[in-house]
A and B are shown apart, each in its own frame.
Chain A
Amino acid sequence: MSSHPLLVSALALAVALAAGGRLLVDQQAQRQETGSVLKLLLGESRRAFAMHVFLKADAYFHQGFYPSVFDSPAAAEAKTHLVEATEENHHHEHNHGHAHNQHRDWIEAFGCHFQPSEHRHLEGLGQAREILPWLRLAAELDPQRVETYTVTAYWLREQLNQVKEAEAFLREGLRANPDSYEILFELGRLYAENDRDVPRARIVLELAVEKWLRQEASKVSPDHVSYRQILGQLAALEERAGNLERALAHYFRVYQVSPNPATVQKRIEELRAKLAAPQKPPP
């Protein structure tokens, strides 16, 4: 068989793939949700791919040292460490549910020299940026996956100091998920902690509370963690702004759903004491 038809076909395929890729890039730039190329190509299966891509970001966070579905089925169902880090706001020690140092046979023992075999995180200046492509792709594949936006925004603003990009990404998420209290909370946190824009942060966080009450309050097991986080952020914001009575009202609501009410009670007492203290006259 002559190789010319093969060459022409392969070059045509290469051009088509490159053009398709370019189309994706342009589409991303225009940020159009409807008529997405990925949606057209993959249909609803893209959501399954989105989960896989999100896990890929977690694997990158661990520099390739990551359990497969064969190593620990439970680990695949558990929360990713990217999400845990976002919620707890700090790095913590964890294991992957499998012991890599215990080899079942000589092939495993030999093979560990040829793959990442030590628990490491992406650390150092701006290293966390390497997880971003996969998070971006996960959002493209499944725009309704709220976690992708909140996690990405957290890493952008906390680790990479890219506050503007984090805000733009959260707004993109909000357009795809207008009722998400999680995205509103993350946006409010960004305004409060990075922009120091108290009025804007207050509006967004109060909207988050409203959305939470509308969606979760009537449920049998509502998402109390998110509710506490939103109220806690709101209370801290008011306290910093000097609106102690408002802060106190928010802490009372936290107290009602807190698993550790004693700590909240202590905070309430402190605020009450502050309120009762005589105001210093202006000099």
Chain B
Amino acid sequence: MIALLLRDLKLAFRAGGGFGLGLAFFLIVTVLVPFSVGPQSSLLATIAPGVLWLGALLACLLSLDRLLALDWEDGSLDLLATAPLPLESVVTIKALAHWITTGLPLVLAAPVLGVLLNLPGPGFGWLVVSLLIGTPALSVIGTFGAALTVGLKRGGLLLSLLVLPLYVPTLIFGAEVARRGATGMEVQTPLLMLAGITAATVALLPFASAAVLRINLR
């Protein structure tokens, strides 16, 4: 399992792995927002938590179609499926690798971009916490979507269509934590719900992803 994780990480970090792509996308989305809504700092401060969450979610989505497609193309996915490692573990490792290469950088970049959007002071900590707890769910749900569409020629757009409705609860609770944190309100309830979603998806969805992958590899 660790060998597979290291392999995936190496592939992602080396040239052509598309490691910085999500990060750059996140940066561009955030920079474009003030141009579209206007530079008033009070307005930006109001929408900053939501915009940062949405940007992180879209950046996550952008990198999903590479998650399994490359392994599918060169046939290593078939080898992984016949390996002694259960497919459920393979899928979990894939999601973990995706989170380390995409989710974690987004979490680290978010406070920097928060400065650009004039995020209120107390919001920074809660933004990082909510993203840290929420992005694993995004990776796991995304892996399910990638497993569903792995055999398709032009699966990218379909993948977004399938995954976006599944992202709704995570986005609602994640952005709610950040928003409440920024305005100094109580964050416990949405934070617990967000953590619950992440725990449940991490525990259950790999089984669905593996089942779907088996069907696709048939």
Partners in one complex: no
| Chain B residues near A (Cβ < 8 Å) | none
| Chain A residues near B (Cβ < 8 Å) | none
